[in-house]
Amino acid sequence: MRSRYTAYVTGNEDYLKASWHPSTCPAEQLTDASIKWLALELRSAEEQGDEATVEFVARCRVGGRGHRLHETSRFVREAGQWLYLDGTFEKNDKGQ
């Protein structure tokens, strides 16, 4: 999770695509230079075999306004590598 956050901060598109499961990875660009990422707070992580969930809050600024992204992400391990599968957003937090 931390490595993917760092990839968003630095605009490392290649790493984001390589760490995203091919079945759910979008074709469009994943990074946006207008977003300034400020902080990552990991709330919880659970691993069960080759599946895991991570709850986090990421804070950013867009156009001078603060926002927070509260997500619970699902990961799957394939060939020893953890891949981001998908996530669900906390409705009250998105865009605050």
55 closest CA partner among 40, 36, 77, 70: 70
Q: Tens digit of pLDDT for each residue in 42-95?
A: 999 999 999 999 999 999 999 999 999 999 999 999 999 999 999 999 876 544
What does the DSSP 8-state code read for residue 21?
A: -
- Confidence at residue 92, expressed as pLDDT on a 0 to 100 scale: 60
The domain spans of the chain are: 2-89
> H helices of the chain, where?
2-10, 13-18
How many whole angstroms separate alpha carbon 90 and alpha carbon 78? Answer: 27
CB–CB of 55/74 below 8 Å?
Answer: no
Confidence bin at 36 (pLDDT 50/70/90): very high
CB–CB of 44/54 below 8 Å?
Answer: yes
Query: What's the CATH code, domain 2-89?
Result: 3.10.450.50
